[in-house]
């Protein structure tokens, strides 16, 4: 018996087909070849017969796929504010504007306009960071993981770095503190136990080879019960007592600049307090609680920052002009804390009044009903849309235990499974990403922007219909 897959036409013979050759007039040849290959692969994977709709239609469909960008905006209806898979923080308007301004223009990235000579990109966000945090000096790199590698490379390479066993964490996305340490060329010395580490553990582990005392914020989980950890200030003191041979480093993770305890958000260290603890270096992310672009922010004593700046790795992990423009604009908003809370989307979502969230939920439900679905409309299948109480999450490994009260738009479709509804929402344009709770699809308006309400209602109506 012959394998039907052998009977599939070759890519060349399909390209010679007049109908398919006709497609080549509207697309670059390389793209058509890719689409033809994909259509043949699809047919092979589907059992080896020619596509029912014909080869030309199959190739046309593949051409559309090839032309579709893989990075597209989506609507986050999950209620996870810092959703890492959906790109974490949304930029404030001022930051997006600043980014756009430098994107299509030359910019003073490394040019000192006063002197008319070469300047340093490292000067760009430094002063505002110093002003907002009380640090002596600052450096911005590509992300916090890079900042940590750079810090350990600059300060502890070929030496020992002491870390508590309770802080040898995995942050996610294959980012594990022991691996980072190994890459930076420092040797890891573990002290303490999973639940308890004392200053004395560090003291006993210190040798003439000790170059760094590292503290890592346990971003994505909490250790409770019989626990003890060493404060950043104690590590700073220990470093100084050793005559400065060992630098104290604090990986803060999220980078909270505003106290959010008024909104029930507690337990995440404030950047200002971390700096005030006296450690030589504090590092954190730009796109977590700070609410800016992806960046790694390093704050600390002048010698420590200077050593990082001078390390060859600093060049490999440098921030680009878009990041610096967006970060500078975001930081500028923090000069007026109330303005920052309102204009920085991450902070606005985290502190939004639950009444306003409910209001958006009602608008979505009404919008769906107006499209003719929902309830038990005559001639329609039965759907129910309810507003139910629930919780949103902060995400991004920040405030891991916080449960933010919210109102969820709950969808019940009699003839569709929750899985198929959520999949239809994902297939709408723009895709709407929801979640399933108690077997029902729910949309959390906390992370749905006011100008997305009508679009979401339309997507929900489309998903529930038929």
Q: Which residues bind ligand PLP (CB under 6 A)?
A: 143-145, 171, 175, 216-217, 219, 251, 253-254, 285, 296, 397
Of the pair 57, 316, the CB lying nearest ligand PLP is at 316
Beta pairing, strands 111-112 & 404-413:
unpaired
Cβ at position 178, least distance to ligand PLP in Å = 13
Please, what is the minimum distance in Å from the beta carbon of residue 190 to ligand PLP? 17
Q: How far apart are CA 259 and CA 54, in angstroms?
A: 62
CB of 384 to ligand PLP, least distance (A): 39
Q: Which CB sits closer to ligand PLP, 171 or 246?
A: 171
Q: Which is nearer to ligand PLP, 332 or 397 (CB)?
A: 397
Q: Up-side HSE of residue 330: CA atoms within 13 Å toward CB?
A: 29
Q: Which is nearer to ligand PLP, 14 or 91 (CB)?
A: 91
Q: Which long-range CB contacts under 8 A does 175-184 form with residues at least 24 apart?
A: 175/145, 177/214, 177/216, 177/251, 180/145, 180/148, 180/149, 180/152, 181/152, 181/214, 183/149, 184/148, 184/149, 184/150, 184/151, 184/152, 184/153, 184/156, 184/157
Tell me the residue number closest to ligand PLP, measured at CB. 253
To the nearest whole angstrom, how small is the minimum distance from the Cβ of residue 323 to ligand PLP?
11
Cα separation values, 74 from 56, 131, 138, 427, 465, Å = 31, 35, 34, 10, 21
Checking DSSP bridges between strand 440-443 and strand 435-437, what pairing results, if any? Answer: antiparallel
* Minimum distance from residue 148 beta carbon to ligand PLP (Å): 6
List the one residue out of 434, 386, 445, 435 whose CA is nearest residue 412.
Answer: 386
User: How near is the Cβ of 175 to ligand PLP at its closest, in Å?
Assistant: 6
Kindly state the tokens that stand for 435.
């979640």
For ligand PLP, which is the closer residue by CB, 367 or 397? 397
Question: What is the Cα Rg of the chain in Å?
Answer: 27
Nearer to ligand PLP, 330 or 452 (CB): 330
């Amino acid at each position: 018996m012959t394998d039907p897959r052998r009977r599939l036409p070759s890519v060349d013979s399909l390209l010679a087909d007049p109908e398919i050759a006709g497609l080549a007039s509207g697309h670059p040849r390389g793209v058509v070849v890719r689409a033809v290959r994909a259509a043949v692969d699809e047919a092979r994977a589907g059992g080896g017969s020619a596509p029912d709709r014909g080869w030309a239609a199959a190739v046309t469909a593949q051409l559309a796929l090839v032309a579709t960008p893989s990075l597209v905006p989506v609507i986050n209806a999950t209620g996870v504010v810092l959703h890492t898979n959906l790109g974490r923080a949304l930029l404030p308007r001022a930051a997006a504007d600043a980014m756009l301004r430098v994107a299509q223009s030359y910019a003073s990235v490394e040019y000192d306009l006063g002197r008319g000579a070469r300047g340093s990109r490292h000067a760009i966000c430094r002063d505002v960071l110093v002003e907002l945090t009380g640090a002596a000096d600052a450096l911005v790199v590509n992300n916090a993981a890079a900042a940590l590698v750079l810090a350990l490379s600059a300060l502890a390479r070929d030496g020992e770095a002491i870390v508590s066993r309770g802080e040898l964490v995995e942050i996610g996305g294959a980012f594990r503190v022991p691996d980072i340490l190994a890459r930076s060329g420092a040797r890891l010395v573990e002290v303490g136990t999973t639940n308890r580490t004392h200053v004395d553990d560090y003291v006993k582990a210190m040798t003439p080879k000790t170059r760094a005392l590292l503290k890592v914020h346990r971003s994505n989980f909490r250790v409770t019960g019989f626990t003890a950890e060493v404060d950043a200030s104690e590590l700073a003191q220990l470093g100084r007592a050793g005559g400065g041979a060992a630098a104290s480093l604090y990986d803060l993770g999220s980078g909270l600049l505003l106290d959010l305890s008024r909104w029930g958000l507690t337990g995440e260290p404030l950047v200002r307090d971390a700096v005030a603890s006296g450690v030589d270096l504090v590092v954190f992310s730009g796109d977590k609680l700070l609410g800016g672009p992806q960046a790694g922010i390093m704050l600390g004593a002048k010698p420590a920052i200077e050593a990082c700046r001078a390390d060859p790795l600093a060049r490999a992990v440098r921030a680009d002009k878009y990041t610096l423009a967006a970060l500078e604009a975001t930081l500028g908003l923090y000069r007026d804390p109330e303005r920052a809370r309102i204009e920085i989307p991450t902070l606005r979502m985290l502190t939004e009044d639950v009444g306003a969230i409910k209001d958006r939920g009602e608008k979505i439900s009404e919008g769906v009903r107006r499209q003719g679905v929902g309830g038990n409309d005559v001639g329609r299948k039965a759907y129910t849309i309810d507003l139910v109480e629930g919780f949103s999450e902060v995400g991004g490994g920040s405030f891991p235990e916080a449960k933010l009260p919210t109102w969820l738009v709950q969808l019940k479709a009699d003839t569709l499974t929750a899985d198929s509804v959520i999949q239809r929402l994902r297939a709408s344009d723009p895709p709407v990403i929801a979640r399933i709770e108690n077997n029902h699809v729910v949309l959390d308006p906390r992370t749905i922007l006011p100008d997305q309400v009508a679009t979401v209602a339309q997507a929900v109506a489309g998903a529930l219909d038929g």
